[in-house]
Amino acid sequence: MTGYPSAEDYIRAVQRPDLVFDRPELAEARFDVHPMLKIPVPASGTTAVVFRATVGGTAQALRFFTREDASTQQRYTALNAWFTERDLTGDVANCRWVDDAILVNGRRWPMVQMEWVDGRTLDRHVEDLVETDDRAALETLAGSWRDLLRRIQAARFAHGDLQHGNVLVDTAGRLRLVDFDSSWITPFTGSPPPSEGGHRNYQPEKRLWGPWMDTFPGLVVYLSLLALAREPNQWEQFNDGENLLFRHRDYLPPHRTQAWSWVERLHDPQIDGLAARLRACCAPGWTATGDLEGLIAEPVPWWTRTAAHPPAGAPPEPGPTTAPPRPRPQPGPRPTGQPMWWQQPTGPQPGPTQPPPTQPAPARAAVAGRVLRAVVTALAWVFGSVLIAGALVSLASSNNTVIAALPALVLALIVLGLVLVVRRRRRRRRQPPGKAP
């Protein structure tokens, strides 16, 4: 057996803790069951499934891997020690690696045992605040987020995959981080980076594993929360279940997506400054070299101050060019078939309250063609009518000039015939295929 057990394998296994666990406290664990299905149902991400169980009288999160991961006992032990030493225990879910914890598919697998955080993921929490139009709470949340970043970065801990699913908001409103598979602490300096590169809706193009990898996603979340605090109803338009407001394609130049247009329309100096800063961080080759506080304090390059008119070939900011780690596979449905930046329309995309776009060049040409055809048809009608009238007058005025009037009459009939043929062909072209003219 080489592959990791599936979520279903773990669901089956934990229904008999007495058989699959060796340790007495785990063998006696009581797993929460789904109220309808009456079996343990885990929360899951991309790498693991997490069950809530009561172990030794306290609620615990038991996390089992469903695929290969760089996590090891040594890494998790070092991380947990760092959390205690650096006073981060209130900001993270404390964790412990348990080797050979569970028997599934004929062999034993490791587990991460954590304190259970009673709360919701960041996106669910934000959704509730948006639905109740609680702008003050969204603003407060943005401030708490910035404070959290300040603390963890000062403590030289980098989470490595900051995104809505790895941030829990507990019942007291405190932010707590989970899922440390990609994390970095000072003792990991020089060790090889894990294969996970973080959720791509929160990561820059080039992401270096190290102390400052939370700076970019930190800014993404901070800006998103502040922007939503100004105008909560945009959540419905931009949240796709795998982000807050921004998605991977928003980080690609020339930043003319709807999300940027909307942020710009808020006309809020603080948001404008942060948005310009984020665009600057999207420049090819940019890599974080400091913390979020330092980044926010820096002046932004002039060419990022408005999304609407970035200059062609805007200069990339200098930074290390080490190859980025393999991008993390996305949980859930991923937006597919999105145009790359060079395939996007050149003008700003129409936003929710944007005025209708001006007519593009092909539409203007079509209108000009229609006007020209109408003028030609009108002239032909006038010319034909004059000729017919002339012929009739000639016939009436002289009995002997019938023969002389005939050429004019024939010419008039030919012109009229031509006009009718042209009109008929145009009408047929406009008819949908399959329908009789």
Binding site for ligand ADP (CB under 6 A): 43-48, 50, 61, 63, 93, 114, 116-117, 121, 165-166, 168, 178-179, 181
Strand ranges (DSSP E) for 160-282? 167-170, 175-177, 184-185
Task: Find the shortest distance in angstroms from Cβ 200 to Mg ion.
Answer: 14
Of the two residues 153 and 166, which places its CB atom closer to Mg ion in the complex? 166
Task: Find the shortest distance in angstroms from Cβ 210 to Mg ion.
Answer: 20
Of the two residues 221 and 405, which places its CB atom closer to ligand ADP in the complex? 221
If residue 273 lies in a helix (H) or strand (E), which one and from where to where? helix 269-281
Task: Find the shortest distance in angstroms from Cβ 49 to ligand ADP.
Answer: 7
Q: How far apart (Å, rounded) are the C-alpha atoms in residues 91 and 206?
A: 27
Task: Find the shortest distance in angstroms from Cβ 318 to Mg ion.
Answer: 32
Q: Which two tokens stand for residue 156?
A: 């030289």
The residue sitting closest to ligand ADP, measured at its beta carbon, is 45
Q: Which of 67, 179, 35, 188 is nearest to 121 (CA)?
A: 179
Task: Find the shortest distance in angstroms from Cβ 219 to ligand ADP.
Answer: 21
Task: Find the shortest distance in angstroms from Cβ 180 to Mg ion.
Answer: 10
If residue 297 lies in a helix (H) or strand (E), which one and from where to where? helix 292-297
If residue 81 lies in a helix (H) or strand (E), which one and from where to where? helix 73-85
Task: Find the shortest distance in angstroms from Cβ 122 to ligand ADP.
Answer: 9
Q: How far apart (Å, rounded) are the C-alpha atoms in residues 179 and 160?
A: 9
The residues, ordered by sequence, that sit 6+ positions from 74 with a Cβ below 8 Å of its Cβ are none
Binding site for Mg ion (CB under 5 A): 45, 165-166, 179
Of the two residues 6 and 258, which places its CB atom closer to Mg ion in the complex? 6
Q: Which of 420, 353, 351 is nearest to 381 (CA)?
A: 420
Binder of residue 48, out of Mg ion, ligand ADP, none (CB less than 5 to 8 A by kind): ligand ADP
Q: How far apart (Å, rounded) are the C-alpha atoms in residues 263 and 314?
A: 21
DSSP state, residue 47:
S
Q: How far apart (Å, rounded) are the C-alpha atoms in residues 215 and 366?
A: 50
Q: Which of 67, 286, 4, 292 is nearest to 196 (CA)?
A: 67
Task: Find the shortest distance in angstroms from Cβ 179 to Mg ion.
Answer: 4
Of the two residues 47 and 257, which places its CB atom closer to ligand ADP in the complex? 47
Of the two residues 70 and 413, which places its CB atom closer to ligand ADP in the complex? 70
Task: Find the shortest distance in angstroms from Cβ 331 to Mg ion.
Answer: 8
Binder of residue 117, out of Mg ion, ligand ADP, none (CB less than 5 to 8 A by kind): ligand ADP
Adjacency order of strands within the sheet including 175-177: 119-121, 167-170, 175-177
∠ CA(378), CA(416), CA(430), 5° rounding? Answer: 65
Of the two residues 11 and 276, which places its CB atom closer to ligand ADP in the complex? 11
Binder of residue 160, out of ligand ADP, Mg ion, none (CB less than 5 to 8 A by kind): none
The residue sitting closest to Mg ion, measured at its beta carbon, is 45
∠ CA(195), CA(198), CA(203), 5° rounding? Answer: 130
Q: Which two tokens stand for residue 141?
A: 């949340």
Of the two residues 178 and 283, which places its CB atom closer to ligand ADP in the complex? 178
Distances (CA, A) of 3 to 12, 16, 42: 17, 22, 20
Of the two residues 11 and 61, which places its CB atom closer to Mg ion in the complex? 61
Of the two residues 43 and 413, which places its CB atom closer to Mg ion in the complex? 43
